[in-house]
Amino acid sequence: KAGVTQTPRYLIKTRGQQVTLSCSPISGHRSVSWYQQTPGQGLQFLFEYFSETQRNKGNFPGRFSGRQFSNSRSEMNVSTLELGDSALYLCASSFDSLTDGYTFGSGTRLTVV
Partner 1 sequence: ILNVEQSPQSLHVQEGDSTNFTCSFPSSNFYALHWYRWETAKSPEALFVMTLNGDEKKKGRISATLNTKEGYSYLYIKGSQPEDSATYLCASLTGTASKLTFGTGTRLQVTL
- DSSP-derived letter for residue 83 is G
Q: How far is the CB of 56 from partner 1 (least distance, A)?
A: 4
**Bridge partners, residue 45, by sequence:** 35
What distance in Å separates the CA atoms of residue 87 and residue 51, rounded to the nearest whole number?
27
Q: Beta strand 87-94 with 31-37: parallel, antiparallel or unpaired?
A: antiparallel
Question: Judged by CB under 8 A, which stretch of 16-24, 48-56, 69-77, 78-86 contacts partner 1?
Answer: 48-56
| Cβ neighbours, 10 Å, residue 79 | 14
With CB under 8 A as the rule, give the number of residues binding partner 1.
Answer: 26
The residue from 24, 66, 89, 107 that contacts partner 1 (CB under 8 A) is 107
Chain residues binding partner 1 by CB under 8 A are 4, 31, 33, 35, 41-43, 45, 48, 50, 55-56, 58, 90, 92, 97-107
